[in-house]
Structure formats: C-alpha cells, structure tokens
Amino acid sequence: MTDNNCDCDSESGNSPPDSNKRFYKERVIGQYVPDGFLITLSSETESLDENDHITLTPTVLHEYIHFVHNISTIGGFRSFLTSVLIWIAFRQTVGRDGRSCGSDGHPSADVAAGQQYLMLRRRLLGDGWIDSPQIPSSTTFLKWSLKDVTTKAHTHEVPGTVIHCECKIAYRGGGETKRTLDFGLIALFEGITSEIEGEHFLGAPPPNAIPYKLLRNFSDHLSKGISKPTYIKIATLSLLTGDPLKYLSEMLPLFDIFKKSGGMSEEDSLEKVEKLYLEMIETNIDSAFHDIDIVLNSLPKTPFANGFRYIGDRLKILLSRRLTEPYFDVHLFHSPENIGAIQDFMAGFPCIVIQERTGDIDTIERDIMFTWGLMEEEDLRVLQCALDFSLIHQKNSGLGFHETDFLEKVKIHHRCPLYTTCDLAMRVQRPDLCSQKPWQSSHWSGWPEEKTCAYGLGVLASIGAVSGAATEQAK
C-alpha cells in the first residue's frame, strides 16, 4: 500500500521510502525509521519472553544496530541533523492553526534551504530495494565512479558522494541482468548491519544481494580476498567521516596497498588506515558536538527540544567512545557469547519498540510499546511525531513541502505512528482522525482539561513564523 509520501509496509506503521527494513520471504518483519528512533517488529518477530526479557532474534538485533548507528556515528548524526534542519525549515510554513501553507506559499530563504537538505538526503541514500520479479542473489561490480551530490544550503556547501556503478546481478531463480545503480547510505548501513547479524547468527538464511550484499561485493572488488571482519570495520570507520561513500572508496584500496606492499597482516594494515583518518574523525566529532549545542540553543523550549537534548546526549557519549573504540559495536554484537554485555548495552541505550500483535489494526491498544531500559520516553515521542509531521508534508521530488490542505484534498491518509498502541480520548472517539489526519490532534476540541497527545505536541512544537491568517491566505 503506497500513498504519495509514504510506503506503508509494516501493518501498523507508516514507513518512509528511506526506512531500514528487514525482509523474510519478501515480507517486512521489522523496520527502523532513521532519525525516528523507533523500531517496529511484526507479529512474526516476538521480542519478549514470558518474563519480559529481551529475546535477541536476528530481526531484533538487525534493527537495533540501525539505531546504534544513528546515535553513534557521524553518518547517523548527520542524518538526524538533516532531518531536524528540514523540520526547522518546515516550521516556517506552519501557522498557529497547526497547518502548513507549503513551501510555495512561503518562499523564504530558510524554506529554500530546507528544500536543498531534502534533495541532498534523497541523493545520499542511493538505491535500496530494486524493482524486480526475482530475488537478487549476487552482484558483480563491472564499473564504478564517484558521483558528487554536494548541495548548497544557505551560504555553505554540504558535501556528499554516492558510488555510481554498473553491476551484473544474478537471481536465485536463474538468469542475470546488467543495470546501473547508486551505492549510497541505504546499502552501506544495511551492508554493515546484515554482516554483523550474520556473524552473530551463524547459519542464518543469506540476505538479498541488494542492498544487503553491495558492501561485501564492493569491498571484494577493491581488495580481493579481504576478510569479512575487516571490511565491516573499514565500512564502520567510513561512517565516522563526513562523506562515508567517498572515504570508503579510498580506505579499501589503501588497505590493499598496505597489505600487499609491506606484507602486513590485515590487523596491522587496518591500523595504518585508521591512523590516516584519525585527525579527520576527531575534527568531525568536535564539530558534531558544536552543532548539537548550536541547534539545541536555537530551539524553542518545548518537549521537542527535550527529545533533541536526549538524543544529543547519547550521541556525545557514543561518539566519544568511538575515539578510543572505533569498532565497539562490531566487537559487542558479533558473537552470541556476548549476550549479557549486549543486554546491558541495550538497557543503557534503549530504543522505543512497537511490537505488533495479530488482529484488527483498528483495535484499541492492539500492539504494545516498550523500551529495553529507562528513558525520557514522552519527550522522545514528541520529537518522533514532530519529525513525522514534517515528513508527511515533504514532496516526493524533494522540492519542498505540500500544503496541509493538499494532503486532505487528495485524501493522502497517514496514520499516527503510535496509532496501534494508543488508548487516549481522540484515538477512542475519533479513530478516523488518528488514522488519516493525525495533525488535527493539536486543535481537537475533545481533549480533557485542554491536554493533547504526543502527536498534538509535535504539531504545536512545529508552529513557526506563519500566522493562522497567513495560512488561510495561502489556501
């Protein structure tokens, strides 16, 4: 089921095209929405045992590693920062009535910068899941080149690169084709995650070639015979740079040169590569800390700002750890023998999880929402909903924001991401709004004691420079 902005792949969620999904026999059984800090697990993936302890299934581990990348790498941080900058631009189009007049109705410099960030994000993602009647089993790189997608926003340029490649794709049912694609952040994140998952769960079914094996095939193309643990670490190191795909394409040949020219071990060759990029990584991390503080100080004092602070604090903790343990997650998650340490880490850095249950999707509290540890859950839910409110207004072209009026006119229905776990007043009395127009929660008249829900607070936090009258005029 697909609408103009979102692919609704998981039964109870609205997953954007750039979400990290895990497939089993062509069904989505788990997903993590980047910068949403929310894992959704299908009813086929049970995450808790009878004592409410973590059941570390392949899907649970896979989606949690995506979350860790989001809060512990420069690549993950810049993805989050870009989402927040897009939201800040989107705020300029939202009036006191909680409705957007769209980017066409508010052509300011800030909104124009938001459009540039939208375009950059879409280009950096590259190609993920290709349309094909058969399942890709392997990919052979024939040609490749770096494709510059650097974008100018405000007065500065934001660097970005994807790897443009011509590949031969073989299929499980036989046959092969040639096609070009862009190896971007989707395939890089999925490649690292699926390889760590495969190390932890030996004997698991092989993943689809695209996007899960692109990293493996590209690494072997540039450094024949490189071991899996080594290219996982090099790819992880690239995520600590400001332009991961560009530096991945540098690091792999450098590793190969060190290994062949000096007769070094893989471990020593990897250490030499690390030393070449250490100063850059330290600078990137310092800049990330600076950016977190600047954005936080610029935000209005709302639950959104509290949610941003929560994520920013975790980013600072884990990015600092990367300086002395650049591969801490690779070492932690690769072996089932580390289950105790993994559970402790998950409790210390919990992610909000929605566990789907079977039954009618409109059933009140059909699904359960929980975390694997103590966290400022309410403020983070507001941040999730505010970013979701921005996301559903983003044009597929990346060229700005729709008017809220347009979404309602063309009947683009969008379910609140918390719909299946909620039992609040509007969810009980007006499920049609929660499942189709959740933005109306901010001004719904039926709230007791003038309160609202997390989505309503997210909309209220999004009210920016446009007055309600200006929104009306733009209609």
Which pLDDT value is given to residue 473? 30
The answer, yes or no, to whether residue 179 has pLDDT greater than 60, is: yes
Show the 3-state SS of the chain: CECCCCECCCCCCCECCCCEEEEECCEEEEEEECCCCEEEECCCCCCECCCCCECCCHHHHHHHHHHHHHHHCHHHHHHHHHHHHHHHHHHCCECCCCCECCCCCCCCHHHHHHHHHHHHHHHHHCCCCCCCCCCEEEEEEEEEEEEECCEEECCEEECCEEEEEEEEEEECCCCEEEEEEEECHHHHHHHHHHHHHHHHCCCCCCCCCCCCCHHHHHHHHHCCCCCHHHHHHHHHHHCCCCCHHHHHHHHHHHHHHHHHHCCCCHHHHHHHHHHHHHHHHHHHHHHHHHHHHHHHHHCCCCHHHHHHHHHHHHHHHHHHHHHHCCCHHHHHHCCHHHHHHHHHHHHHCCCEEEECCCCCCCCCCCCEEECCCCCCHHHHHHHHHHHHHHHHHECCCCCCECCHHHHHHCCCCCCCCCHHHCCCHHHHHCHHHHHHCHHHHHHCCCCHHHCCCHHHHHHHHCCCCCCHHHHHHHC
Residue 26: left if φ>0, alpha if ψ -120 to 50, beta else—which one?
A: left
Please give the average per-residue pLDDT across 439-446, as a whole number: 94
Confidence of residue 25 (pLDDT cuts 50, 70, 90): very low
As a whole number, the mean pLDDT across the chain is 86
**Residue 138: C-alpha distances to residues 202, 207, 210 (Å):** 19, 10, 8
Please give the average per-residue pLDDT across 193-203, as a whole number: 88
Query: Encoding tokens for residue 271?
Result: 């250490």
Q: Which contacts (CB < 8 Å, 24+ apart) does range 275-283 have?
A: 277/237, 277/240, 277/241, 277/247, 277/251, 280/241, 280/242, 281/74, 281/237, 281/240, 281/241, 281/322, 281/323, 281/326, 282/323
Which pLDDT value is given to residue 3? 29
The answer, yes or no, to whether residue 469 has pLDDT greater than 50, is: no
Q: Where are the domains of the chain?
A: 1-475
Confidence of residue 27 (pLDDT cuts 50, 70, 90): low
CB half-sphere exposure, 258, CA atoms < 13 A: 20
CB atoms within 10 A of CB 472: 13
Q: Summarize pLDDT for 268-291 with one digit per residue, the tens.
A: 999 999 999 999 999 999 999 999
Q: Summarize pLDDT for 68-94 with one digit per residue, the tens.
A: 999 999 999 999 998 998 999 899 899
Please give the average per-residue pLDDT across 61-65, as a whole number: 94
Which pLDDT value is given to residue 23? 42
The answer, yes or no, to whether residue 154 has pLDDT greater than 80, is: no
Q: Summarize pLDDT for 327-383 with one digit per residue, the tens.
A: 999 999 998 889 899 989 998 999 999 999 999 999 999 999 988 776 668 899 999
Which pLDDT value is given to residue 466? 44
Alpha-carbon dihedral of residues 107, 109, 111, 112, nearest 10 degrees? Answer: 90
Helices 377-393/454-461 angle, 10° precision: 60
Question: What is the sign of the dihedral through the CA atoms of 369, 315, 119 and 162?
Answer: negative
Which pLDDT value is given to residue 9? 36
Please give the average per-residue pLDDT across 311-322, as a whole number: 97
Confidence of residue 120 (pLDDT cuts 50, 70, 90): confident
The span from the CA of 33 to the CA of 418, in Å, is: 13
**Residue 236: C-alpha distances to residues 27, 134, 231, 285 (Å):** 28, 30, 8, 15
Which pLDDT value is given to residue 107? 64
- The model carries a pTM of 0.89
Closest to 194 (Cα-Cα) out of 213, 210, 217:
213
Which pLDDT value is given to residue 16? 45
Burial class (CB within 10 angstroms; exposed 0-12, middle 13-18, buried 19+) of 388: buried
Burial class (CB within 10 angstroms; exposed 0-12, middle 13-18, buried 19+) of 176: middle
The answer, yes or no, to whether residue 399 has pLDDT greater than 80, is: no
Q: Summarize pLDDT for 207-243 with one digit per residue, the tens.
A: 777 888 899 999 999 999 999 999 999 999 999 999 9
Q: How large a percentage of the chain has pLDDT more than 70?
A: 86
